[in-house]
Chain A
Amino acid sequence: MNMRRAISSAIYTFAGVIGVLAFVYPFLLDMPATGSLGVAHGQDAMLVTTTLVGLSLVALLVELQGQAISAKTVALLGVMVAIASVLRFVEVAVPMPGGFSPIFAPIILAGYVFGGRFGFLMGTFTMLTSALITGGVGPWLPYQMFTAGWVGMTAGWLGQISRFQSPISNVIHAGGWRLEIALLSMFGFAWGLLYGAIINVYFWPFAVGTAEQSWAPGIGVGEMLARYTTFYVATSLWWDLVRAAGNVALILLLGAPTVRALTRYQRRFHFEVRSAHA
């Protein structure tokens, strides 16, 4: 069992590192510029990165579903994904201001209550299903799936921190549900900005080319971060701020009743009858 757990941890770690590296590799490069002012490399890198992200997502899904998913989890996941996907459909049909998207709040709240694994799957499948119904399939989809999966997974970690006995959880319990919702709102705000910043990185080296503010092989990490920050502030910050504010508004408004409802159903979903010899 220990061996199985160790290999499983290795799969999560390798897939996670590949995912993180796919987003941060432009900041780590330190090699001489290639032809066409480094542009050719940027294009190869995008194809290689998209393939690697796709393969690690595939490996992660094989591992996740290999851990015996119960019928209740499958049904719950399917229905929750459907609800979140319909919200994405609403977002597409009725254009909302900036990057406001109602799909992150359900992913965060579900991950918070049902745990990191459920949150990861919910984020991943919500992006996949909503892309299928809204015609959003493209090379950007593996990145969106990975990032939304991280949103759900980290929400699960937040839930674990607040539930396990620790000085932090004691503070959260002392603060009551208001503090819990405030914490979730801050988490939603942070992910509203982070989601945009992360998704931008995947096309940044490819989209903007060789400029003082863009990706160019051979420049240092600090310089690269400064350029990316300028690019992000100039092109995406206001857009992502609307998303972050939208997450906060939705969690403040719907968070408490949703967490209560999900917690009630979590108890019902975990109820199992096992035979004596099982």
Chain B
Amino acid sequence: MLDARVWLVWALTMLVMASFTRNPLYLVLLLLVAVVVGSVCAPKQGRGTVTSPLRFAALALPLAAVFNALTAHLGDTVLFRLPDRLPLLGGPVTLEALVFGAMNGLTLTTIFSAFAAFNQVTPVRDLVRLTPRAFHEAGVVLSIALTFVPQTTRSIARIREAQATRGHRVRGLRDWLPIVMPLLVSGLERSMGLAEAMVARGYGAVSDRPQPLRTQGLLALGLFLLLGGWLTLLFLPSWKGAAVGAMVVGAVLVVGVVWWVGRNVSHTTYRVHRWTARDTLAVLGCGLALAVATVPLPLLDRGTLYYAPYPRLAMPAFDPFIGLGLLGLLVPAMVITGDPE
């Protein structure tokens, strides 16, 4: 098992890489990496995802391709023409626009697949454990909610059974009323009991103090710098250096406040996950992938990361060294395969 932080770094690296490149060959490579890592590392009884990546691809790719082809009248290779009287759709439908749309769908599919793998391989309890200490109350709310989810599901089943014995059957939306109301009222009653139990155990005895004024002030200053920097970046691009500087200082202030607030919260863990050499290797793999995209190394042709099919469709270039670097994202699957657990 890899540390949840490693998986977070992996997912974020996939997001950055998929956002960074517009070359479909690299995108396909990243998509394959996401699929392999997801299928190798996901536990057999793991969580499912909202939609399977295959289903997402089947929807996103043709939709994005057709939509772009019908609405973007750019490119030299005309497939057919739509009558000019059709508002926005009228004009030439080109192969280049079709490909560009499919590339957009491919990017979204890659990002979706990466996070689908992340969701499959990371247990919920490990994700909750990643909550910064500063969010103590938020963590408590989240823990209560996650604990009550199975109870609520059981309550629904119990209420349905009870109503069924009275001859109630769910045929339409209206028939949910006798199920939802007892569920809500029993939930509210349970929360009342829980609150009393929390108070009896001393919850709130020390946390009723409001936030120190200095903390609030730093938080406000951090947000002000982020907002000011962003507005400057958007509307005064010539001030880019100052804008980015302000945003970095703002981000550091917000993160610093979170760290500072969290320092005062004691935190206990029953089972400590030890950082292993496998975790380090996986992070290094992510670092390698990021490096090939962002560091101007002499052997790499970083221009191949960008590709546009306009004005005439051509085969995108592929740098094998960049391809090898992207395979660094496969390291989690390699180290897991060798794990005796």
Q: Is the CB of B74 within 8 A of A75?
A: no
A168 contacts partner chain B, Cβ-Cβ < 8 Å = no
Q: Does B288 contact A (CB under 8 A)?
A: no
A–B Cβ pairs within 8 angstroms, 17 of them? A4-B213, A21-B227, A43-B19, A63-B219, A68-B210, A74-B144, A78-B141, A78-B144, A137-B127, A138-B118, A208-B64, A209-B104, A214-B72, A234-B67, A254-B176, A257-B181, A262-B184
The reply to whether B210 and A89 form a contact with Cβ atoms under 8 Å apart is no
Q: A74 — which chain B residues lie within 8 A by C-beta?
A: 137, 140-141, 144, 195, 198, 203
A166 at the interface (CB under 8 A from B): no
Which residues of B from 67 to 103 have beta carbons under 8 Å from A? 67-68, 71-74, 88, 97, 100-101, 103
Task: Find out whether the CB atom of B173 lies under 8 angstroms from the CB atom of A250.
Answer: yes
Interface code A1-43, partner B: CB below 8 Å = 1, 0 otherwise? 0011001101100110110010001001111000111011001
A63 vs B138: C-alpha distance in the bound complex, in angstroms?
11
B102-152, CB < 8 A from A: 103-104, 107-108, 111-112, 115-116, 118-120, 124, 127-128, 134-138, 140-149, 151-152
Whether B137 pairs with A65 at a CB distance below 8 angstroms is yes
Q: How far is the CB of B181 from chain A (nearest CB, A)?
A: 5
Which stretch from A50-58, A156-164, A192-200 is at the chain B interface? A50-58
Chain A residues with a Cβ under 8 A of chain B: 3-4, 7-8, 10-11, 14-15, 17-18, 21, 25, 28-31, 35-37, 39-40, 43, 46-48, 51-52, 55-56, 58-59, 61-63, 65-72, 74-83, 85-86, 89, 92, 121, 125, 128-129, 132-139, 203, 206-214, 230, 234-235, 249-250, 253-254, 257-258, 261-262, 265, 268-269
Residues of A within 8 A of B67 (CB): 208, 234-235
Given A31-B237, A69-B137, A76-B191: 14 more A-B contacts, CB < 8 Å: A3-B213, A14-B227, A18-B230, A56-B226, A59-B219, A72-B191, A77-B144, A81-B145, A83-B148, A129-B149, A138-B119, A209-B68, A212-B88, A213-B88
Main secondary structure of the interface of B (DSSP, over half): helix
Pair A78/B198 contact, Cβ less than 8 Å: no
Q: Let me know if A35 and B306 touch, CB within 8 A.
A: yes
Quick one: closest B residue to A30, CB to CB? B235
Q: How many A-B contacts if CB must be within 8 Å? A: 300
Let me know if B100 and A209 touch, CB within 8 A: yes
Q: Is B137 touching A40 in the complex (CB atoms < 8 A)?
A: no
- CB neighbours of A254 from chain B (8 A): 176-177, 180-181
Q: Which DSSP category, helix, strand, loop or mixed, fits chain A's interface?
A: helix
On chain B, the residues within 8 Å of A129 by CB distance are 142, 145-146, 149
Determine whether the beta carbon of A62 is less than 8 Å from that of B198. Answer: no
Task: Tell me if B310 counts as interface (CB < 8 A to partner A).
Answer: yes
Interface: B22 (CB within 8 A): yes
Contact B210 A67 (CB under 8 A): yes
| Interface pair A59/B141, CB less than 8 Å apart | no
Q: Does B304 touch A at the CB level, under 8 Å?
A: no
B15 proximal to A (CB < 8 A): yes
B234 within 8 A of A: yes
Contacts of B198 in A (CB 8 A): 71, 74-75
Nearest A residue to B201, CB-CB: A71
Stretch at the interface among B254-262, B272-280, B312-320, B321-329: B254-262
Give the nearest-CB partner of A76 in chain B. B191
The answer to the question of B13 belonging to the interface, with a C-beta cut-off of 8 Å to chain A, is: no
A52 to B156, CA, bound (A): 39
Q: Which of A52, A66, A72 contacts B216 (CB 8 A)?
A: A66
